[in-house]
Amino acid sequence: MKIDEPVVPEEFNRNVFLTTIDAIYNWGRTKSMWPMAFGLACCAIEFMAMMASRFDLIRFGMEIIRASPRQADLMFVSGTVTKKMVPNIVRLYNQMAEPKYVLAVGACATSGGPFKEGYNVVSGIDKFLPVDVYVPGCPPSPEAILYGVMKVHEKVMGQSVRTAPWYKKDQLNEPLPMPMLGPDLYNPKDRDALMKVVDAVGVDKG
């Protein structure tokens, strides 16, 4: 370092950072995230432990677990994702308002886990939804899920109101398409499509 170079104290740098709109806005968002209550299998037990007093998600300002997707901005997909459940997960995701984030908790939500290639299980929720953070483990510990939450916060802190897609007029948030998986999943209102499946698999209609 040259002798005449001005030395800027670390605190001063931090204060300048905190005065930017993005930093204040994103700080507020990380401290008021509302997760959606959502458990699919055993990983949800670890999620409950993370919420309870020992691990205490509340210290991140996230104690309000919402039962409605319209009031939530963080989806924990915690557990085995079955083919029957996927359309409901996508429907709930579509009902969440932007900006929204998805945390895949555990091996099942990340890749199918021990049930990968099972006839009724999908190989990860990221085939159907944009996942922001993956937490490995079967099950992941509550500390690991907390770490995943902190990673979501890091991602939020790196975003800018100037480039965020949900503020752009020309980027309307189209709902994700509803997945239809296999002959065991069908739209009960679409009788014609159902009958085609029945004909294709040769089910006795009588």
User: Distance of alpha carbon 21 from its chain centroid, rounded?
Assistant: 25
| 50: nearest Cα among 135, 107, 130 | 135
Q: How many chain residues are in contact with ligand SF4, going by CB under 6 A?
A: 12
116 binding ligand SF4? (CB under 6 A): no
| Residue 129 near ligand SF4 by CB under 6 A | no
Contacts of range 161-167, beta carbons closer than 8 Å, 24 or more positions apart: 161/21, 161/22, 161/25, 162/22, 164/99, 165/98, 166/98, 166/99
Interface of this chain with ligand SF4, residues 19 to 48, rule: CB under 6 A: 41-43
Beta carbon nearer to ligand SF4, 69 or 124: 124
Nearer to ligand SF4, 43 or 133 (CB): 43
| Residue with Cβ nearer ligand SF4 (115 or 186) | 115
Amino acid making up residue 17: F
Q: Given the rule CB under 6 A, which of 24-32, 48-56, 101-109, 177-185 is the region that contacts ligand SF4?
A: 101-109
Binding status of residue 139 toward ligand SF4 by CB under 6 A: yes
C-beta of residue 76 within 8 angstroms of C-beta of residue 53: no
Segment lying near ligand SF4 (by CB under 6 A), choices 57-65, 91-99, 104-112, 126-134: 104-112
**The one among 36, 77, 86, 108 contacting ligand SF4 by CB under 6 A:** 108
143 with 111: CB under 8 angstroms? Answer: no
Structure tokens at 50: 């993370």
- In angstroms, the CA 19 to CA 145 distance is 30
The interface with ligand SF4 within residues 166-205 (CB under 6 A) comprises none
- For position 145 contacting ligand SF4 by CB under 6 A, the verdict is no
Shortest Å, Cβ 41 to ligand SF4: 4
42/181 with CB nearer ligand SF4: 42
Give φ, ψ of 55 to 5 degrees. -100, -35
Helices 10-18 and 21-30 pack at an angle, to 10 degrees, of: 80
Binding site for ligand SF4 (CB under 6 A): 41-43, 79-80, 106-108, 113-114, 138-139
